[in-house]
Copies of this chain bind each other. A is one copy, B any other.
Amino acid sequence: MKNTKPYYAVIFTSTQTEKIEGYTEMAEQMENLAKQQEGYLGIESARNSIGITVSYWESLDAIKQWKQNSEHLFTQQKGREQWYNLYKVRICKVEREYEFEK
């Protein structure tokens, strides 16, 4: 991930329905699509009982552009219809960070 500051994080938390057909392909496709967006910095994902995906962006404008990407809009619609029981999106400004590595 590029080390640009300040930057933004989109926290997407969700719980899935039973109808997860096509979900994995979609997730992969959306990740590839996001990578091509202007201002994209990175993405991290984990899922067990709930799913958490955090994507990182250079600006609020980049996040807005990504939300309005036509292919992404289509997938958001399909997500509401099929894959998700609920989701929550939080747009956040990263104020500080630190890390540890062995």
Contact = CB atoms under 8 A, between A and B. Distances in A.
Contacts of A95: 60, 91-93
Contact of A87 (B89, B92, B99): B99
User: Does more than half of chain A's interface fall in helix, strand or loop, or is it mixed?
Assistant: strand
Oligomer: number of copies: 2
Question: How many A residues touch the partner, as a band?
Answer: 35 or more
Interface of A: 9, 11, 13, 17, 44-52, 54, 60, 80, 84-102
15 contacts: A9-B90, A11-B11, A13-B54, A45-B50, A46-B46, A46-B49, A46-B50, A52-B52, A60-B95, A87-B99, A88-B98, A88-B100, A89-B97, A89-B99, A93-B95
